[in-house]
Amino acid sequence: MLMTSILIVDDDKAIRENLAKYLSESFTTYTASNGRDAIAQIKNNPDIEIVLSDLKMPEMDGIELLQQIKAGSRDIVMIFVTGFSTIESAVEAMRKGAYDYLTKPIDLNKLDITIKNAIENKKLRSENIMLKQQIREKFDATSLVGNSSKIGDIMDLVKRVSSTKATALLLGESGTGKELVANIIHYNSSVADGPFIKVNCSALAEGVLESELFGHEKGAFTGALYMKKGRFELANGGTLFLDEIGDLPLSIQVKLLRFLQESEFERVGGTKTIKVDVRIISATNKDLEQYVREEKFRDDLFYRLNVVTISVPPLRERKEDVKLIVSHHLRRFAEIHNKQVKGITPEAMKVIKSYHWPGNVRELMNCIESAVVMSLSDKIDVDCLPPFLTMKVSGKAAPDAASNLFELEKKAIFEALKTTSGNKAEAARLLGIGLRTLYRKLDQYNENQK
Ligand SMILES: Nc1ncnc2c1ncn2[C@@H]1O[C@H](COP(=O)(O)OP(=O)(O)OP(=O)(O)O)[C@@H](O)[C@H]1O
Ligand SMILES: [Mg+2]
């Protein structure tokens, strides 16, 4: 492993050389006798990661050195060494971005620990930057794959919305890419460095959802032992994604409306008004206008959420996108599953294109994943595709015997269950049958086994 490089800056020659001697056992060391000299050393030695500097020096003192280093583009950790008389400047240095300070005479034990922590801290910081970068890359403008004019229109809207703080409502069937679009908006907006917080409004019971969203004060209800911040507060300075907004109970709709009008709310059981700065993106696969007519959804809230609407059309209405989506996810899953699959045969593509994909991109993606896993060569062929696809299209299911059909159906059902990792509701949807039918069939297979 590469040794960390440390620059020691002190106008006192004895201190400087003693420190260098001690530290050179574990680090690469450089020395400088004043601020200007230190800047030159940093310029000449790109490996310097830590500067251990005296605060009081003639010409350029430690604070000025700190400011010059911070103004540069390198991520250098500053640790100051200070005498009793300059503690105040050490505190000022910390405020200006120094990592830590040590007092003279230097306790070598403390020096070791401080340097060790500084290295750890720096590592975490750069990892954090890298992770953020990766997320951004994952959600850049190209992550919504497709070359249809419909995808083009959506990306146009996304670009325009991203640069504002406007509330956006995403509509579309399940699996069309609404959550993906929400992510792209956030990670390409001015608050991309802020949090992206998601709430699934249909997953929680009414009471829990309220405190999840708005938080609660200590003692607000039995079991509320501590104050808890809600998702609105956690999303401060970023984006709150309200998924399945159609399932938001009416009582919470009122609170959300108030938030959208005034950007403020109270925690459950609290009287203190809390103000936050949060952009709201909501999504639903329900027909919200119908809900408004049925009075399940407040019309005033609907208009507030609906400042910008982005409708993501079902995949069957943009079949042009299928090819690109297939190759995108094929590459991805081949890498994930460590398979040498590089393409798909025209026959298999034809089968995929002729299906109507009721589960949209998510269903197509699942199908590609299972095909990649099943494939034995570098190309996906028809025989790697899940049976529910080939049965419908290829006509191979020539019913010369009823048992044949039964077997095919059974195979399709197990294949679908495999694709959905055993999620029966999802599998039923994939197969285009009711959940109850699926259970009935499974019972039947169990019976047959006895
Ligand atoms: N155009 C696309 N290109 C690439 N991947 C896509 C595209 N659209 C959707 N996906 C992928 O398909 C999956 C389903 O998309 P997403 O979760 O955004 O759908 P959704 O509309 O939120 O569905 P639901 O209503 O069921 O929550 C995700 O893994 C997403 O990354
Ligand atoms: Mg979703």
Distance of CA 32 to the CA centre of its chain: 44
pLDDT at position 102: 93
Q: Identify which of 41, 53, 132, 46 has the alpha carbon closest to the alpha carbon of residue 98.
A: 53
Q: Nearest bound ligand to CA 361?
A: 1
Kindly state if the Cβ of 179 falls inside 6 Å of ligand 1: yes
SS (H, E, C) 251-280: HHHHHHHHHHHHCEEECECCCCEEECCCEE
Q: Tell me which residue has its CA closest to atom 27 in ligand 1.
A: 174
For residues 386 and 414, what is the distance between their CA atoms, to the nearest angstrom? Answer: 10
Averaged pLDDT for residues 48-54: 95
Contact between 173 and 317 (Cβ < 8 Å): no
pLDDT at 442 over 70: yes
CA–CA separation, 179 vs 281, rounded Å?
A: 10
Q: Is the CB of 361 under 6 A from ligand 1?
A: yes
Q: What is the pLDDT of residues 378-414, one digit of tens each?
A: 999 999 998 888 875 444 444 444 556 677 788 888 8
Q: Pick the residue with more confidence: 394 or 100? A: 100
Q: Give the closest residue (by CA) to ligand 1 atom 13.
A: 362
pLDDT tens per residue across span 146-173 = 999 999 999 999 999 999 999 999 999 9
CA distance 177 to 157: 15
At residue 58, does pLDDT exceed 50? yes
Residue 170 CA to ligand 2 center (angstroms) comes to 10
Closest CA to 165 of 278, 11, 311, 241: 278
246 in contact with ligand 1, CB cutoff 6 A: no
449 confidence band (pLDDT: 50, 70, 90): low
- The amino acid present at 356, given as its one-letter code, is H
Ligand nearest to the Cα of 322, by number = 1
The per-residue pLDDT for 404 is: 61
Residue range 102-120, pLDDT digits in tens: 998 899 999 999 999 999 9
CA 118 / ligand 1 centre spacing (Å): 41
Q: How far is Cα of residue 288 from the mean position of the Cα atoms in its chain?
A: 27
Residues 6+ apart with CB under 8 A from 77: 49, 50, 51, 99, 118, 119, 121, 122
User: 313 CB under 6 A from ligand 1?
Assistant: no
175 DSSP 8-state letter:
T
* Mean pLDDT computed over every residue of the chain: 90
pLDDT value at position 131? 85
pLDDT value of residue 400: 47
Residue 342 has pLDDT above 70, yes or no: yes
- The structure's pTM equals 0.69
Is the Cβ atom of 362 under 6 angstroms away from ligand 1? Answer: yes
Rounded average pLDDT over 268-285: 94
Could you tell me which residues come within 8 angstroms of residue 126 by beta carbon, excluding any fewer than 6 positions away?
A: 75
For the segment 361-369, the average pLDDT, to the nearest whole number, is 95
Q: Is the CB of 325 under 6 A from ligand 1?
A: yes
What whole-number distance in Å separates Cα of residue 435 and Cα of residue 262? Answer: 43
- Cα separation values, 115 from 6, 39, 92, 99, 249, Å: 9, 20, 20, 10, 53
Tokens linked to 101 = 């300070």
Name the H helices within 235-345. 250-262, 288-293, 299-305, 322-336
| pLDDT for 403 | 55
- The neighbourhood of ligand 2, an ion, using CB within 5 A, equals 179
> Rounded to the nearest whole angstrom, what is the distance from the C-alpha of residue 196 to the centroid of ligand 2?
14
CA of 131 to the centre of ligand 2 (A): 23
* Banded model confidence at residue 248, pLDDT cuts 50, 70, 90: very high
pLDDT top residue among 129 and 264: 264
pLDDT tens digits, one per residue of 73-90: 888 999 999 887 778 888
The domains located in the chain, with CATH, are 5-134 (3.40.50.2300), 149-313 (3.40.50.300), 315-385 (1.10.8.60), 398-450 (1.10.10.60)
Q: Count the helix, strand and coil residues of the chain and give each as a percent rounded to the nearest 5.
A: 55, 15, 35
Ligand 1: residue whose CA is nearest its atom 4: 145
